[in-house]
Amino acid sequence: MSNRIQALYDIGQSIWCDNISRSMIDGGELKRLLDIGVVGVTSNPSIFMKAITGSSDYDALLDKLIGQGLDTMDLYEGLVIPDISDAADILKPIFESTGGVDGFVSLEVSPKLAYDTEGTIAEGKRLFATINRPNVMIKVPATEQGMPAIEALIGAGINVNVTLIFGLAAHEQVMQAYLNGLKILDESGGDLSKVTSVASFFVSRLDVMIDKALEEKKADGAKVDHLFGKAAIANAKLAYARFQEVFNADGAFGELASKGARVQRPLWASTSTKNPAYCDTMYLDGLVGPQSVNTLPPVTIDATLDHGQSEVAITKDVDQAKSIMKDLAALEIDVTKATEILRDNGVVLFAQSFDELLDNLKRKKAQLRTAG
């Protein structure tokens, strides 16, 4: 009997899990998720920080690595890369059965490199080669400096998950960077069908910021109740509409598609509902659509199975989405500026998580030395 996640897959939307840990892999939780229809996994520095510092699951391996005299960055990779590699191996049957569409696990380059093009390219290539699995995606943030890195990595045949996309302008640049990368790969004689990319478009955080601005307008007497909780999905619907235009086989993408190139699917990220007044599947139900991915934290996966919707919604009420954006602009709420702030804040938050994890590893290393 089909469940709601499998029903979404039948529509053309893939559900990936926005979480990974050693306990998920060893304890069978990842396998259980795949059995119910989840077809991919994403990670980020915050996820790994919580997994490694919030449990004892990594202690035995960490003690072993510390005993080898590794520095802190090598300790980090010594813990993280086995998780990514093992998850990729578990997901490989899905990768093969879907012809390379799904079955991916993502690993992000160091957030310290978010504004370093050459550093991102070098680390992306190194990580992809080190893990050496065809179903690994390297995560690159959608900063200005990230765009040429996306081109270069795609041009080298490396799968890329572009992260921290909040706005339409950034999404436009990301899609163009992907197309440019495909052209580079094609000109070098590469196989376009062997490289895959997703554009991770963050959702819920935009509503948090815009709703706060709306509260201020409401306090001043403006009639804004109809706009609360509407900006994020409206923004995503406009992004999806543009995705359909860019990756239309009759347009510029057509020639690349004829050589085996895949579309760069939108991936809806940050999909847990931050406002308890909103439905916990809000950022699933409103974004259902073919040729897309929704990456859900475990709690939202459970909610989806229980009461999530499985009807196409992303292509509906696009004119209303445009109207919402016009209404916000009329209130002098600058959505574009908000998305830029959110992207920059996202880089900072990931960097903080990364620093917290490295500091934790340093402390454990020092404690082991003292105990020895």
- Catalytic (active-site) positions: 139
Q: What is the 3-state secondary structure (H, E, C) of the chain?
A: CCCHHHHHHHHCEEEEECCCCHHHHHCCHHHHHHHCCCCCECCCHHHHHHHHHCCCCCHHHHHHHHHCCCCHHHHHHHHHHHHHHHHHHHHHHHHHHCCCCCCCEEEECCHHHCCCHHHHHHHHHHHHHHHCCCCEEEEEECCCCHHHHHHHHHHCCCCEEEEEECCHHHHHHHHHHHHHHHHHHHHCCCCHHHCCEEEEEECHHHHHHHHHHHHHHHHCCCCCHHHCCCHHHHHHHHHHHHHHHHCCCCCCHHHHHHCCCCCCEEEEECCCCCCCCCCCCHHHHCCCCCCEEEEECHHHHHHHHHHCCCCCCCCCCHHHHHHHHHHHHHCCCCHHHHHHHHHHHHHHHHHHHHHHHHHHHHHHHHHHHHHC
